[in-house]
Structure 1
Amino acid sequence: MGGKSYYCDYCCCFMKNDLNVRKLHNGGISHTIAKTNYMKSFEDPKKILDEERKKTPCKRYFGGYCKFEMYCKYCHYSEKELQELEKLVLAKKKANSKKRKKSTKWPWKTHTQKGLPISLQPIQLARLERTNFELSWG
C-alpha cells in the first residue's frame, strides 16, 4: 500500500492500511473498550449516575488497575466524582426547566398585535397608499 498507515482515533495507534488489518483491529477487545470509553462520554449524566449508584466500588480499580474498565460490573467512580456528577445532573435539570418556562408555543404573539409576523399579516391598503415607490435604489 506504499507505506501509508491507518490511525485509529479511539486507540491512538497507527497500523498498516490494509482492510484485513483494520477489521482485525476493530474487532479486538482493546479497540472495543476504547470506543466504549469514548462513546460513554456522550451519554446522559443522569443515566450514568443512576447506573453507578447501584454498583459497589471496584477493589481492583481503586487498588491500581482494573482490566475490565467500562465492562466491569463494579463502580469506577470515587465518592467525590459521584458528587460532581450529581451536581452536573442538577445543573442540567435546572437549565432544562428554565428553557421550558421561557419558551412559548408562538413566540411572535408577543411582538405583534395580530399574533403573526409582519410578513404574514394581511396587506393594509391605507399603509400601501402611503408608500413611495419612486425611490431610487443604488
Structure 2
Amino acid sequence: QPREGVIRVVQAAVSAGAEGFNLNAGPETARLLKEIVEAGLERHVGLYPVVPDERFFGSLLNQGTMGAASAVLSGLSITGKAKALLSGGWAWLTNDPFQAIQAYLEIEIGRLNRAGGSLASVRTVLLHELITDSVVGLGATEAFSRYVE
C-alpha cells in the first residue's frame, strides 16, 4: 500500500526531528494528511504547501476556468462550497483577480488546516513557479505585494 508507506516515512521523519513538510496543496493531499494525523504523529509539524496545485493548471488548460473552479471545489463540504462560491463570485463580479487569488488561498489553506487538526498547520504558502515566472515576466510586481498581504 503506497499510502501506508508514505505515512510510515512521515512518522519516521517526525521522530527523527523533522519540523515541517513541503507538499502540493489540494484535496488528495488533504486526505492523505488526515490519514497521517489519524495514524499518529509525535508532535506538531508545519506545512509549507505549494499553490496552486498542479491539477489546477491541467484543469485550467484542458477545461477552462469552470473546470479549474470545479477542481478546486472538489472535496469541499456543501458549506465550504457555498463560502467559496460567495467569495469567488464576488471576485468574479468585481473583476478582481486579487480577490480571486485570496478566495483560492483560503480554500486550500483551510482544507489543509482542517485535515491537520491540532498536529499539523500551514506555516507559509509557497507560490508555484508558473505563477512566479508569469508575474516576473509580465512585470506585475503588485501581485507579489498583494500576495504577501
Bigger RCO of structures 1 and 2 (CA < 8 A, at least 6 apart): 2
Q: Which has more strand, going by share of residues?
A: 2
TM normalised by structure 1 equals: 0.21
Task: Determine which structure has more spread, i.e. the larger CA radius of gyration.
Answer: 1
TM normalised by structure 2 equals: 0.20
